[in-house]
Amino acid sequence: MPIDLIIFDCDGVLVDSEVISCRMHAELLTRAGYPITADQVFDRFLGRADIESNREVERELGRKLPDDFDTMLKQAVLDELAVSVEGVPHIAETLTRIRQKICVASSGTPDKIRTSLTRANIHERLAPHIFSASQVKRGKPEPDLFLFAARQMDVAPERCIVIEDSIPGIIGARAAGMTVLGFRGGAHYLEHPASAPSAETLLRAGALVTFEDMRQLPAMIDKIAIGATL
C-alpha cells in the first residue's frame, strides 16, 4: 500500500518538550496537594490529554483540582517552552527529506504546539496542518485525533505512518488502522531511562519498529512504502 501521509506527534517527537512539561506538571500538582515527581508524571500521564490526566488525579484526591489549575499549568509550560524548548536532533533536515504529505497530531493545546514548533524553527514547515486533541471528543489512546488528521489531509488511514514516542499514542494510531513507528530519541528517553518505555514495550503496544535517530526516518518510510523489510 502506498504511503501518502506522515503524522508526527509533537512533544518528544518534533520537540524535546516532555522533560519541561513533566517538571512543570509535577510542580503544580504538588502545589495543589497531590505530591508527585516529574518521573511519576512521565510514567502516568505522558501522551495523554490533560482532561483525562486531571480526572484521574481528582478521583484519587477525592476532590476537584483548583478551577484555575489548567490555566496555570498551560501558562507555566508555555512560559518555559517559549525560552528553552529545542527541536529533537536532526528534525529540521529530516522534514525536508520526506516526500509525502506531513502533519502534526498532538495531545497538546494549539498554543503549546505553536509555541514549541515556533521556538524550534519548524512551525512554518508544518503549518497549517497542525491538529490538536482539543479538536476531537476523545484524546489518545483513542483513535479520534489520528482519524481526524487523516480526514483533514484527505488520506485513508491505511496510507498513513504515525511517528509516536508514547504508549497511548501508539495504541491510538494502531486503533485508527495506521502503521506506527516508535521514536526513542527524545531527551526524556536519555534523562529518564528508567521511566521511559523500552523498545520492547513500544513494540508490544503496536509499533512496527523503533528508532532513535531522526535521520533514519526517510529511508524507513521508503522501505515501508515498497513493502521492504526494515
**pLDDT tens column, 152-166:** 999 999 999 999 999
On whether both 29 and 41 belong to a single domain, the answer is yes
Final residue of a structural domain among 68, 84, 100: 84
What's the whole-model pTM score?
0.86
In which band, very low, low, confident or very high, does the pLDDT at 18 lie, cut at 50, 70 and 90? confident
Alpha carbon separation from 50 to 14, 45, 98, 132 (Å, rounded): 19, 8, 31, 12
Residue 136 or 19, more confident? 136
Residue 95 or 52, more confident? 95
Residues 46-69: tens digit of each pLDDT: 767 788 899 999 999 999 999 999
Q: What is the pLDDT of residue 44?
A: 87
On whether both 111 and 158 belong to a single domain, the answer is yes
On whether both 133 and 188 belong to a single domain, the answer is yes
User: What range does the domain containing 212 cover?
Assistant: 5-17+85-226
Q: How far apart are CA 75 and CA 73, in angstroms?
A: 5
On whether both 32 and 91 belong to a single domain, the answer is no
Rounded to 5 degrees, φ, ψ at 6 are: -110, 120
Whichever domain contains 53, its CATH number is 1.10.150.240
What is the DSSP code (8-state) at residue 216?
Answer: G
On whether both 144 and 38 belong to a single domain, the answer is no
Number of domains in the chain: 2
